Amino acid sequence: MEKIAIAIDGPASSGKSTVAKLLAKDFQFIYVDTGAMYRAVTYLAIQHQVAFDQEEELVELIKNYPISFKQTVDGQLVFVNDQNVTEEIRQTDVTAAVSEVSAHREVREQLVRIQQELAKQGGIVMDGRDIGTTVLPDAEVKIFLVASVDERAQRRYKENLEKGRESDLETIKEAIAQRDYLDSHREVSPLVQAIDAVKIDTTGMTIKQVVAKIQQVIQEKGYEIS
Ligand code: DC
């Protein structure tokens, strides 16, 4: 498989990371979860008692605590410095504040630079909100995944159950709708579909079907899947 870049954008819980991971594994590409990076900064802010509106201090955190990924047999782990924060960045307090943190221009500039560096060699699947529009505007394949709020809330609720985390469906629904609004209405790199992205509505589709659909898009663009 040619070492192309695949950008997968879409709202919260649209299934981006699940399908991105599967595609990366299939093609032996690097997978980069950019949401995890914004979550890591938010986690650092909470740990260091930096207010979410303090842009300069947030940027200092990014400079002082490098964010990295490690591939293991148990999946991809997220680190800040030497600390494994893979679990912590999924907690409710981080999720509730991440849209505010990720709205800052300088925070985005710092992280976008790291993301572009990670993608330099090609052979990458990157998921987020602004990959096709800002981070990798020249990506060979751009996918925009959407699904209804109800379905996304159900998926998140089931995932929580499986992981033994307590949660409430209505609260999840409200939080998803709120995050959709904030992510799509921010001034810097809002969540929008790139003009050359292929939109896939995953409502009612299985993960397998979504992966197959993306593979079909890749093939239709003339890349051979081996
Ligand atoms: O994909 P996720 O839910 O883990 O992302 C967490 C938040 O990070 C999301 O609400 C918005 C922000 N984000 C962003 O602004 N740009 C990205 N490329 C990825 C995520």
Q: Is any atom of ligand 1 closer than 6 Å to the C-beta of 35?
A: yes
Ramachandran area for residue 45 (φ above 0: left; ψ -120 to 50: alpha; else beta):
alpha
Class of domain 5-215: alpha beta
pTM of this structure: 0.94
Whole-number pLDDT of residue 20: 96
Q: How many helices (H) and strands (E) does the chain have?
A: 8, 8
Residue nearest to atom 8 of ligand 1 (CA): 35
DSSP letters for 74-89: TEEEEEETTEE-TTGG
Instruction: Tell me the per-residue pLDDT of 107-157, one tens digit each, with 9 for 90 and over.
Output: 999 999 999 999 999 999 999 999 999 999 999 999 999 999 999 999 999
Q: Is any atom of ligand 1 closer than 6 Å to the C-beta of 99?
A: yes
Q: Is any atom of ligand 1 closer than 6 Å to the C-beta of 130?
A: yes
- Report domain extents, the chain: 5-215
- The angle formed by the CA atoms of residues 172, 175 and 179, to the nearest 5 degrees, is 140
Residue nearest to atom 1 of ligand 1 (CA): 35
* DSSP assignment letter at 90: G
State in Å, rounded, how far the first CA of the chain is from the last one: 6
One digit per residue, the tens of pLDDT, for the chain of length 226 reads: 899 999 999 998 899 999 999 999 999 999 999 999 999 999 999 999 999 999 999 999 999 999 999 988 778 899 999 999 999 999 989 999 999 999 999 999 999 999 999 999 999 999 999 999 999 999 999 999 999 999 999 999 998 899 888 889 999 999 999 999 999 999 999 999 999 999 999 999 999 999 999 999 999 999 998 7
- Residue 84 pairs in a beta bridge with 79
Q: Is any atom of ligand 1 closer than 6 Å to the C-beta of 98?
A: yes
Q: How remote is the CA of residue 95 from the centroid of ligand 1, in Å?
A: 9
Closest ligand 1 atom, residue 16 Cα? 1
User: Helix (H, G, I), strand (E, B), or coil: what is residue 106?
Assistant: helix
H or E element that contains 192: none
Cα 38 to Cα 99: distance, rounded to the nearest angstrom? 9
Residue nearest to atom 4 of ligand 1 (CA): 35
Report in angstroms the alpha-carbon separations of 103 from 75, 98, 107, 190, 218.
28, 9, 8, 8, 31
